[in-house]
Structure 1
Amino acid sequence: MGKKSEKAQKDKVAAGNAEDESRNSANASMERASLTVGDYQCTGILEQDFPELCGRAGFTESEIPRVTLCHRTAVTPTSEKNAADDSDGASDKDNPGGGGPTKDKFSYFKPKIEVETEGEDGKSVKVIFVHGWKIDHRMMGIFSKCLPALTALQGISLWNVALTESTFSQFLEILPHCPNIKTVVLEGNPLPEQSYYKLISDHLPLVRISLRNNMITDDGAKLISQALQSLKTNNKNLATLNLSFNHISDLGAGYLAEALRMDRSLLCLDLSHNQIGDQGTLALAEVLGPFPLTHKEIVERRRLLMDKDSHELQRSPTLSRNGDARNDRPQSHQSYAAVEKPEKAPAASKTNKSMAKKKDKDKDPQKKEEKSTTSLQGGNSTVSGQGGQAKKEDPKAAKKQLPNPEQKNSKVKPVRSASKRVPLTEHELHVEPAEITHPLLEPAESRDGKVFLPGNRVLINLNLLRNRITEKGLNGLLAAVEAQESKLIPGSKSHTGLLRLCVGKNLFPPDNETFIKLQELMLSRDPIHKLSRLSADEQTQ
């Protein structure tokens, strides 16, 4: 027995050593391949860089995926030429019955990279599509080398490529090096740890993220919600989030509703083909209309208001030196002195009016303008008492100052010169565009002892198709849509609030009264419906 156990232990040790050796040899080969790949300098032309990098990484010629244009036939011009050469000689021998070569018959199913290009030369890759073949560590290493060299790359679509947590981490390391990347599509790639939330970050300025058919559960929705809430208020990049065909229930919809309370960047949210019922629908409907703040949010709102007031107090000395505050009090005092000073001149020499006119010429032009400003404003009784004298002198002063273009509109805009208004204008331009404020600083309303915000008016497209919503959830959505006031966004012709809402194919009949009323209400807002109706009217005319 002892000899058998010793022999079994020796066999285990030998097998472990063999596995370690094979693993070490594989790692060594990968390191050598990575060093060889690292020596290559990419040209930015994917059709040249990708095959070269694959060859240096140890791929055989038959294993290297082809680079083809999107919406093009599966056979590339190169393969067509090879097929023609093969058909001249070996095709009759290999396929005596006629037809094309057997080895190219299934070329459609071979791994390939489809690209969408732009530019006159057609070599600037805009979008990359990788569908239906596994991407391992070696291939991710090749992508990390050639993708950043594509300066026009805006979108990457990886469908059913068997991503793992490690390859997904490699993919996340590639994205920051792609300067113009805006869209990432990861569909059919379920991850055990549901790390998709890492795509939502301030370091990745993505505009569109699609995570369809990834078996995302409520835990994954919670992580995504936390990532949305952690975004900075000035990060307005992420506009579209697609979470359709997943396993999100009422709990996950509630998590996403918490993110929509303070998120002011998301425009489109797709939650179709999930397991959301009335509870999750009501949670989403609540944040679309006026909702009450929690105690924690009220405390944060007060802190933000205090910080805002302190910043305004710190800016007030600057405003008093360069802003309108100086043009109020100091000008009135100077105008008052300028009006009183001419009173003494006529008293000293009433007979010599030319001397008084000569003194008026020698005065500072600013005091003349301040005098006109004070006469227009009617600052106090002393100034208004001299209104008749100011009216008599203004036409003559205006005639003498007419050659100076800056003094023509002194009565309308009493400014000494345009250069003196530059500091105020720069300050106003710096402050006014800062309309992107924290959502807690939005105008609030107090009633019943609670503080209500107007709700999320940024989300314009919500898709809840094919869930588990009944008439109870429909009533909540209808109340939320009706509560959204139809106000114009400043500087545009569009309205705030939802413009499209899809709730069909749920647990209610198509002839439901609430559903019909909600559809009619949304049709009046749907811009696509308006355009189609407008085009139809134009055709009839």
Structure 2
Amino acid sequence: MLSGFKLLACLLFSGQTPTENLPAQDFDEYQCSGNVEIDFPGLCALLDMKNIPAVCTKQPASLTTETEEEDTDDNKSLIDDSSIWPKPCLHAELESEDPLSAKNLKISGWRVDEQIVRVLQKMLLSLSKLQSLHFWQAGLTDQMLISLLNTISLCSNLRAVTLEGNPLPERSYHLLLSEDSILTHLSLRNNRIGNEGARLIGSALSTTRSANKNLLSLNLAFNCIGDEGAAHIAKGLRFNCALLFLSLSNNQIGDSGAGHLAATLAEFALTHEEVVERRKLLLERTQDSSLRVSSDQSSVGQLPSVPSSTSLSASKGENKAKKKEASKKEEKPAANKENPKSNKKSPDIKVPQSKGGKQGSKEKLTAQEDKPTTALNEQVEAVEIVNPLLDRLVQYRDGELILPGNTTLSSLNLEGNKITEKSLPLFLTSLEMQGEEGGLLRLCLQRNLFSPDCELYVKIKELMALRDALNKNTSEQTEEEEQGAQC
């Protein structure tokens, strides 16, 4: 009776008459208006829910103050699970006074069930201005997360997801970082993510065949990631060219894991498996290019006698582009298309053929394998994103193929781990090698197992101070992360 009354009230409030819609309407037929205060209780009522959570909307004038107070309460409760929570409430922040302008949704400190997830799935698609979705200690399961993912991918403006205090038995967090994910900001604090979860996340960041291309910030603070997990994350950073901010603060990372992270920041040699994969990709690219050229030539030869103006102009444009590319390739050898700055360091391009033995044969093979890459760069890059293995200038040195390391990552937070003074030389060397070609602007190593007055640590801080454009925001972000819970 209560649920029917609430639905009736929602319909009247929205200007719909009960005789017109109520008898024939069910959950699947409900048309969401985009007003959270109407749609959420209305959908819950149609599922015959007994205790429907309230909806609390925040007007723009009060957003800043109320949000700060609420976040403070959340962070305190992360430490003290005995806090007394208010009744379940769906918090909606509005972009303007328009009730259809919800930009943030937050479920904080109350357990959702499959019915709530079903309601959210239907409602989210109507929120055209929704930018972020926040779950804190909401009791989500792996299956609930998977269900929500299907909807998140269809939300036109949703780019930020926070999933904190929600341990998932099957560690499905990595699905939020899939190659086709549209998310740019993801926070996974305080989820008891261990080494296996870190392995899955690392693979989602990048492999030799795929890489996440949209995620800009990833917060993995206050989890249970150790050296093994840090190594997996470092491996995922090898070919990731998108991530700018990474927090691994307050985990269990020691010198071994820190060493892997530091090594990824500097130039590194490809493993045997990566070299093999690179050669496969080069071969596939060559074959794909040949098929494309053959197809273009065939289509030109089969043009009708009186073609339409649109198709004729398109064909002419394609042929003209192909001829330009072909002439460029004849005028300039493939090797000369590499970055001039790297020519001196890159025997990979000009390899002496007089050296005998295995060394010479390896150099010759490497030079041959790189020619298709440089020769096809202009043609392929115009229509597709190059695999990370082929996207960078490769040097050949001492019998190995060398990549310049991850220079995309701008901020790395490793505070509150188990790193000792042994790892500091590795970080210092990597930072010095990055130079002015890009790389870290912020490296946080406070609260680890070495003295703040350590000579190497002082040098690292001095070096970072010269390039830290984010320095003014460092203390604020650190204080926010320190309020989370330990594993």
Query: Fold conserved (TM > 0.5)?
Result: yes
Q: Which structure has the bigger radius of gyration?
A: 1
In the superposition, relative to structure 1, how do residues 531 and 124 fare at CA in structure 2: closer, same or farther (>3 Å)? closer
TM-aligned CA deviation for residue 47 of structure 1: 1.1
TM-aligned CA deviation for residue 194 of structure 1: 1.4
**The one of 26, 30, 48 aligned to 1:40:** 30
- Secondary structure at 1:170 match in 2: helix
Q: Kindly provide the amino acid, as one letter, of the partner of residue 386 in structure 2.
A: T
- Secondary structure at 1:116 match in 2: strand
- Secondary structure at 1:524 match in 2: helix
Q: Could you say which residue in structure 2 is the equivalent of 1:262? A: 239
- Secondary structure at 2:470 match in 1: helix
Q: Could you say which residue in structure 2 is the equivalent of 1:450? A: 400
1:58-457 alignment, distance < 5 Å: 58-60=48-50, 63-69=52-58, 71=62, 109-119=86-96, 121=98, 123-229=100-206, 233=210, 235-310=212-287, 315=293, 318=319, 322-323=323-324, 436-441=385-390, 442-457=392-407
**Count of aligned positions:** 361
In the superposition, relative to structure 1, how do residues 69 and 232 fare at CA in structure 2: closer, same or farther (>3 Å)? farther
- Secondary structure at 1:130 match in 2: strand
In 2, Cα distance between equivalents of 1:513 and 1:327: 53
In 2, Cα distance between equivalents of 1:320 and 1:176: 36
In 2, Cα distance between equivalents of 1:328 and 1:271: 46
In the superposition, relative to structure 1, how do residues 66 and 108 fare at CA in structure 2: closer, same or farther (>3 Å)? farther
Q: Is the 8 A contact 1:462 1:502 kept in 2?
A: yes
Gaps of 5+ in 1: 1-34, 75-106, 330-426, 488-495, 533-541
TM-score (norm 1): 0.61
TM-score (norm 2): 0.67
For 1:7-33, what per-residue CA distance to the aligned partner results, in whole angstroms no more than 9, with x for missing partners?
xxxxxxxxxxxxxxxxxxxxxxxxxxx
Q: Kindly provide the amino acid, as one letter, of the partner of residue 122 in structure 2.
A: K
Q: Is the 8 A contact 2:198 2:229 kept in 1?
A: yes
In 1, Cα distance between equivalents of 2:466 and 2:460: 10
In 2, Cα distance between equivalents of 1:433 and 1:485: 30
In 1, Cα distance between equivalents of 2:120 and 2:164: 18
Q: Could you say which residue in structure 2 is the equivalent of 1:472? A: 422
TM-aligned CA deviation for residue 428 of structure 1: 11
**The one of 482, 486, 504 aligned to 2:446:** 504
Higher relative contact order (CA 8 A, sep 6+): 2
Q: Is the 8 A contact 2:173 2:201 kept in 1?
A: yes
Q: Kindly provide the amino acid, as one letter, of the partner of residue 56 in structure 2.
A: V
Q: Kindly provide the amino acid, as one letter, of the partner of residue 517 in structure 1.
A: K
- Secondary structure at 2:402 match in 1: strand
> Does structure 1 residue 55 correspond to structure 2 residue 45?
yes
Q: Is the 8 A contact 2:57 2:94 kept in 1?
A: no
Which is worse superposed, 122-131 or 523-532? 523-532
Q: Is the 8 A contact 1:320 1:326 kept in 2?
A: no
RMSD of aligned alpha carbons:
3.2
Q: Is the 8 A contact 1:239 1:265 kept in 2?
A: yes
Identical-pair percentage: 41
Q: Which structure: greater helix fraction?
A: 1
In the superposition, relative to structure 1, how do residues 168 and 231 fare at CA in structure 2: closer, same or farther (>3 Å)? farther
Gaps of 5+ in 2: 1-24, 67-83, 298-318, 331-375, 475-487
In the superposition, relative to structure 1, how do residues 36 and 217 fare at CA in structure 2: closer, same or farther (>3 Å)? same
In 1, Cα distance between equivalents of 2:124 and 2:325: 53
TM-aligned CA deviation for residue 308 of structure 1: 4.0
- Secondary structure at 1:36 match in 2: coil
TM-aligned CA deviation for residue 449 of structure 1: 1.5
TM-aligned CA deviation for residue 146 of structure 1: 1.1
Q: Could you say which residue in structure 2 is the equivalent of 1:461? A: 411
**The one of 524, 527, 530 aligned to 2:466:** 524
Q: Could you say which residue in structure 1 is the equivalent of 2:373? A: none
In 2, Cα distance between equivalents of 1:196 and 1:327: 47
TM-aligned CA deviation for residue 219 of structure 1: 0.9
In 2, Cα distance between equivalents of 1:524 and 1:198: 37
TM-aligned CA deviation for residue 304 of structure 1: 2.6
